[in-house]
Amino acid sequence: MERIAIEDLYQFVFVSDAAFSPDGQHIAYLRHRADNEENCYHSELWLMDANGENHFLLAKRGEAKSFLWLDNQTILFVSKREAIQEGEQPATDYYSISILGGEATHFMRIPLNVEQLQHAGENCFYVKASVPAKVAEAAPAPANTAQAGKDYEVFEELPYWFNGKGIRNRIRTALFLYNAREQTLKRLTLPFLNVSSWAVSPGSGRIAYSGTDYRSIRPANSALWLQDGCNGGARQLVDDTHYNIDDLCFMGEDALFYTGSPTERMGQNPRYYRYSISSDAVDALPFYDVPIGNKVGSDSKYGGGKQLAFSNGELFMLHTTWGNTRLMAMNKSGQLRTVVNKEGAITGIALHDKTIAITAMRANRLAEVYLVDSDSGKELQLTDCNRKYFATHQVQTPERFTYISRNGFEMEGFVLTPAGFKPDGSYPGILTIHGGPKAAFGGVFFHEMQCLAAQGFFVFYTNPRGSDGRGEAFADIAEAFGSKDYNDLIEFTDEVLKRYSQIDPQRLGVGGGSYGGFMTNWIIGQTDRFASAVSQRSISNYLSKVMYTDIGYTVNRLQMGAYPWEDFDKVWGMSPLCYAHRVKTPTLFLQSDEDYRCWMGDALQMLSAVKRNGTPARLVLFHGENHELSRSGKPHNRITRLNELIEWHCKFLKMR
């Protein structure tokens, strides 16, 4: 058996976006693979019978990154076969292919950078895309003058940039109707409305969407809109004074399920609602204190998958509970039943009538497609794209344990033993902290952790207060950043050291990204028990984090309980930079220069302070990457990132 290595990234096959054909006879899905030579990801469209047989590659040229079934024989997929020239208007090409044979043919070119596409019946499609708030009345700048958007940017709004989307001033996510036969495009949403989620009714006749209509500051709460048919006007069902509407799904033509998360407190879970369209009545469904969707973190996921879908009278949804994802089904009155409850993470749902398929990370492996028996919940594995890899590589299995914490909660933790572990050995150990903080670690395959274990490190991690999967009270650490969560992590570290005497307490490392980067920066200012730290896309100073990041003025403000000018001591006191002058832990900072979630200013500040202590510190700044570097960054940069991370721990924890 081979040990897991950083370059194994190029061997992984990431499976995503499984979908049944309308007749349920076939399943189409995507396979993605990181390519070393071209430093990109290649995506392929694959087809199989609904029982997993007759597997074959449908299309790969031009990166089939998304698709939809047009009918039982035809799939429409996005493809970049014809290069869009620089300076041309943005456009997205779609090709159609018959599953019965023959090559793909060009189907349509939509003059937008399409983010999502859904069929609107006949030759029409609903399209989601980011565009200027109002379409340009094209007065191009005179020759030889500075060009907006290229030579300079103007900010008049908050947020002015957004992670993964770049500069967002006066840019909105809008919905369009595209008629492929007439090649006409019609904007459905208001000029300044920014769409967050949307859904099309089963008969394609209705479209619902949530979003915010703003001209200055995007509010935290959103409104719900409904549009009947392609030509009907939109009407607002719920205004934007209540909650943030995250999830939408039609339950037939007349009922619309949606979730609304209150935004008064940090970490609040969504409330579930059912809107009856004909009677204009809202039913509040029971509160389950759990958000929809898989929140179990992994750096080995790529591509999407449905988190919520309606079929045969039931609404299927993913719930994250502790460190696992469950598949639940809800009836019209809001009663839930558990369909699948297994260890691991479900990354997407596909439904046809009563037939259920999921993409899931099982048995400490990458995601594959499984067919689910809807009564017993038993799974039949349909794809095994990574069989050879896992047959030849030594994967360390996370050992899970629980304990009752001083905080009164039962807590869970996971420990990866080092590859080649001997009970009488002595090993360094790495505490890894997830982002969020409202996210969760589970027992699923995590490349970075497996690489560390392969290099001889123990890796241990937990879900401290602030994490997801345990209800909103558990997730609320507002105004207690660095106390509740820090105490949990230190207590957990003590628990691990108690249970694993092979971990050398003199050789402990710590690392994390985003919120985990905040916590890493915090920890090194509070204790010297860690001899090495890797702080990624981190937060060091909430005075500035609140003021210059995309979600600073909403999410981080709520976490801090004050703007800097309202209560300096409170905000500064929860900022790691306040304690940076006493940091003795050698620290590596990993940062992307287009990360507008945790902007580089914070990492630079911490670097400056730590460095001036005479403490070893290094910052690696990746060009053109954002907050998603570890998950979907360019392959070479992901390799560099892992190399830097492991070398740093090796250097200071005396390996090699």
Partner 1 sequence: MKPVSINILPEIQFVSAPGFSPDGENIAFVVQKADLKNNAYMGDLYLYNCTTEKILRLTCSGNVKKFIWTKAGTVLFQALPSGRNDKQKDNQMSFFYEINISGGEAVEKFSLPVQATSFYKCEDGRFVIAAGVDNTPARNGAYEVFDEIPFWSNGRGFTNKKRIHLFVYAPESGSLTSVCDASDDCTFYSVRGSRILYKSYSWCDVRQEYDGIYLYDMDTKTSRCLLKKDVRRTGHIAFWDNKQALVAAAQDSEFGDEKYMDFYTMDLSDGSMRLLAPYDYSIAAGTVGTDARLGEVYPDKNAEDGYYFITTKGAYSSLHRISRDGGISEALTRQGACDSFDVYDGRIVVCGLYENRLSELYLDGRQITDFNQTTARWNISTPKPLRFFDRDKFEIQGWVIKPVDYKPGEKYPAILHIHGGPRTVFSSVFHHEMQMWAAAGYFVFYCNPRGSDGGGTAFGSLNGKYGTVDYDNIMDFTDKVLACYPDIDASRLGVVGGSYGGFMTNWIICHTNRFCAAVSQRSIANWITFEHMSDIGHTFTKHTQAALTREDAHKLWWHSPLKYAADCKTPTLFVHSTEDYRCPMAEGLQMFTALKLLGIETRMCLIRGENHELSRSGRPRSRMLRMAEILNWMDRHLKDAAPDTGADQTERSAQ
In whole angstroms, what is the distance from residue 643 CA to residue 448 CA?
10
Choice between 59 and 171, CB closer to partner 1 = 171
The least CB distance from residue 566 to partner 1, in Å, is 8
Residue found by looking up tokens 């900010």 in the block: 155
Residue 640 tokens read as 């560099």
Choice between 140 and 408, CB closer to partner 1 = 140
C-alpha to C-alpha distances, 186 to 89, 177, 190, 348, 400, nearest whole angstrom? 17, 5, 11, 31, 53
The least CB distance from residue 624 to partner 1, in Å, is 8
Choice between 292 and 558, CB closer to partner 1 = 558
Choice between 387 and 582, CB closer to partner 1 = 582
Choice between 157 and 491, CB closer to partner 1 = 157
Positive/negative CA dihedral, 268, 552, 627, 28: positive
Choice between 531 and 620, CB closer to partner 1 = 620
Asked if 24 and 355 count as a contact pair (C-beta separation under 8 A), the reply is yes
Pick from 527, 324, 513: nearest CA to 433:
513
- Give me the amino acid identity at 633: G
Choice between 27 and 571, CB closer to partner 1 = 571
The least CB distance from residue 561 to partner 1, in Å, is 15
Q: At what angle do helices 515-526 and 484-499 cross, to 10 degrees?
A: 80
The least CB distance from residue 188 to partner 1, in Å, is 19
Choice between 204 and 549, CB closer to partner 1 = 549
The least CB distance from residue 467 to partner 1, in Å, is 29
Q: Helix or strand or coil: residue 409?
A: coil
Output the furthest CA–CA distance in the chain (Å, rounded). 75
Choice between 146 and 404, CB closer to partner 1 = 146
Positive/negative CA dihedral, 554, 557, 559, 562: negative
Q: What are phi and psi of 552, to 5 degrees?
A: -60, -50
Choice between 230 and 547, CB closer to partner 1 = 547
Residue found by looking up tokens 């560390």 in the block: 452
The least CB distance from residue 142 to partner 1, in Å, is 10
Residues across the chain: 656
Asked if 542 and 574 count as a contact pair (C-beta separation under 8 A), the reply is yes
Q: What is the CB neighbour count within 10 angstroms for residue 118? A: 15
For residue 142, what are the contacts with CB-CB under 8 A and spacing of at least 6?
A: none
The least CB distance from residue 578 to partner 1, in Å, is 7
Would you list the DSSP string of 64-120? ---EEESSSSEEEEE---SPPPTTSPP-EEEEEEETTSS--EEEEEESS-EEEEEE-
Pick from 52, 55, 36, 53: nearest CA to 44:
55
Q: Which helix (H) or strand (E) holds 329?
A: strand 324-330
Choice between 297 and 564, CB closer to partner 1 = 564
The least CB distance from residue 384 to partner 1, in Å, is 34
| β-bridge mates for residue 273, sequence order | 258, 284
The least CB distance from residue 615 to partner 1, in Å, is 10
The least CB distance from residue 24 to partner 1, in Å, is 45
Q: What is the CB neighbour count within 10 angstroms for residue 39? A: 12
Choice between 57 and 141, CB closer to partner 1 = 141
Choice between 134 and 235, CB closer to partner 1 = 134
The least CB distance from residue 551 to partner 1, in Å, is 12
- Give me the amino acid identity at 464: P
C-alpha to C-alpha distances, 495 to 429, 488, 503, 649, nearest whole angstrom? 13, 10, 12, 22
Q: What is the CB neighbour count within 10 angstroms for residue 96? A: 17
Residues at the site binding partner 1, with contacts judged by CB under 8 A? 132-134, 136-141, 144-158, 160, 169-170, 216-217, 541, 543-544, 547-548, 552-553, 563-566, 568, 572, 577-578, 580-581, 599, 601, 604-609, 611-612, 614, 617-624, 634, 636-637, 640
Asked if 520 and 535 count as a contact pair (C-beta separation under 8 A), the reply is yes
The least CB distance from residue 179 to partner 1, in Å, is 25
Q: Which helix (H) or strand (E) holds 222?
A: none
- Count Cα atoms within 13 angstroms, Cβ side, for 214: 23
The least CB distance from residue 36 to partner 1, in Å, is 13
Choice between 98 and 613, CB closer to partner 1 = 613
Asked if 315 and 333 count as a contact pair (C-beta separation under 8 A), the reply is no
Q: Helix or strand or coil: residue 532?
A: strand
Choice between 214 and 390, CB closer to partner 1 = 214
The least CB distance from residue 641 to partner 1, in Å, is 9
Residue 421 tokens read as 């572990």
The least CB distance from residue 435 to partner 1, in Å, is 21
Choice between 170 and 187, CB closer to partner 1 = 170
Q: What are phi and psi of 176, to 5 degrees?
A: -130, 160
The least CB distance from residue 145 to partner 1, in Å, is 6
Beta strands in 373-433 (DSSP E): 379-381, 393-394, 399-404, 410-416, 427-433
Angle at 414 between CA 411 and CA 419, to 5 degrees: 165
